Amino acid sequence: MNTAVLIADTSRYADPNIRYQACKAMAKGFANSITCEEIRLEHARVFCSLLISSYWQTLAKQHNTSMRVKGSPYLGNEIEPDVINVALETGKLIAQFPVEDAGFLIGSIYTVMLPSALRSTLGAYYTPHRLLLDY
């Protein structure tokens, strides 16, 4: 997966929503390339741990604070360097959205990366949060 080229392609879009959808599609594509469900789950956890760490570091810089995110046991696990880059860039991108949207955006990526059987067992499907706000 040459995600360096893909990340460069997403930066041409000015709309962060379009860039987010592209990053989410890359994360899903990476997850779909893994046939072993246990490894797919582990990679989803690593990817999202990196994404959250990047998101938090970006917010900390914006707010000039030294607060750090609590470490994740998954950060020591390895995934492809290009995939790490996608996770880090996606975290920076999500930091551009309102804080109340960030959790949904991160959770949505995690959900699409989960193995299908686990997603079904957990009933882990995301309703677009804009629909939830209408009630």
Tell me, what's the pLDDT at 97?
96
Give the burial string for 72-100 (b: 16+ CB within 10 Å, else e): eebeeeebeebbbebbbbbbebbbeeeee
Tell me the C-alpha distance between 26 and 28, whole Å: 5
What is the block-wise mean pLDDT of the chain (135 residues), using blocks of 10 residues? 52 85 95 94 94 95 87 76 94 95 92 80 59 47
What's the pTM?
0.81
Tell me, what's the pLDDT at 64?
94
Tell me, what's the pLDDT at 117?
72
Tell me the C-alpha distance between 37 and 126, whole Å: 20
The CA–CA distances, whole Å, from 15 to 22, 58, 135 equal: 11, 19, 27
Q: How many structural domains are present in the chain?
A: 1
* Contact residues for 73 (Cβ-Cβ < 8 A; gap 6+): none
Tell me, what's the pLDDT at 5?
47
Q: Which domain holds residue 46?
A: 3-133
Tell me the C-alpha distance between 17 and 98, whole Å: 12
Q: For 25-50, how does the pLDDT look when each residue is reduced to its tens digit (9 = 90+)?
A: 999 999 999 999 999 999 999 999 99
Tell me, what's the pLDDT at 129?
53
Tell me the C-alpha distance between 94 and 134, whole Å: 23
